[in-house]
């Protein structure tokens, strides 16, 4: 998925026995909110949730946005998802790309931009709600062009999906389209 040039975190230790369901439900809620944001062109699912891995460490979503889009509403939806994931001791990342397939960074975890020791953005505050820590995390051009699962505006499966992903997320989204 991503080329991470940092230390791998320890194995995830969720506070619930079966964390996939709450992460998938959180992803569903995120898609419902994000698809209403002006400038959102596509939402896709990446990472361990597209596999049958019983204990994923997080939910990874890729959102393709118009380059000049105001990210305030999308960032709010992303923070809700991150809060849900943190409540079960896991994480969430909202990766951003533009329609030309360029990786822009991730939605920042902070509501407001202030100089912070924990911020790894290269240009903190240059664009509201964007963590451009491209020196730490990048996504390949192929992954940006053909993510494993597209969730919106149309559900597209590029691999065989686990049963819970199909039931909890994909079937619901197809009914909503």
**3-class DSSP state of 52:** coil
Peptide bond preceding 122 in cis form (omega within 30 of 0)? no
Indicate the helix (H) or strand (E) that contains 60: strand 58-65
pLDDT of residue 62: 97
90-109 average pLDDT score: 86
Specify the range with the lowest mean pLDDT, choosing from 14-23, 29-38, 113-122.
Answer: 113-122
- What is the Cα 111 distance to its own chain's centre? 17
CA distances from 84 to 27, 59, 77, 116, 154 (A): 10, 11, 11, 23, 25
DSSP assignment letter at 170: I
Residue 88 predicted with pLDDT over 80: yes
Kindly indicate the confidence band of residue 6, based on its pLDDT and cuts at 50, 70 and 90. very low
pLDDT tens track for 12-27 = 778 888 999 999 999 9
pLDDT of residue 130: 59
């Amino acid at each position: 998925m991503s080329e991470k040039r940092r230390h791998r975190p320890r194995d995830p230790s969720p506070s619930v026995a079966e964390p996939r369901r709450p992460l998938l439900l959180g992803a569903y809620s995120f898609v419902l909110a994000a698809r209403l944001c002006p400038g959102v062109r596509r939402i896709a699912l990446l990472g361990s949730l597209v596999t049958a891995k019983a204990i994923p460490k997080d939910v990874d979503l890729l959102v393709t946005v118009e380059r000049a889009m105001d990210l305030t509403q999308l960032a709010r939806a992303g923070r809700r998802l991150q809060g849900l994931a943190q409540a079960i001791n896991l994480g969430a990342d909202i990766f951003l790309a533009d329609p030309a397939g360029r990786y822009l960074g991730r939605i920042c975890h902070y509501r407001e931009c202030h100089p912070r020791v924990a911020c790894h953005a290269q240009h903190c505050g240059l664009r509201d709600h964007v963590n451009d820590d491209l020196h730490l995390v990048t996504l390949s051009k192929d992954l940006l062009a053909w993510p494993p699962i597209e969730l919106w505006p149309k559900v597209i499966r590029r691999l065989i999906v686990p049963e819970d992903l199909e039931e909890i997320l994909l079937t619901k989204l197809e009914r909503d389209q």
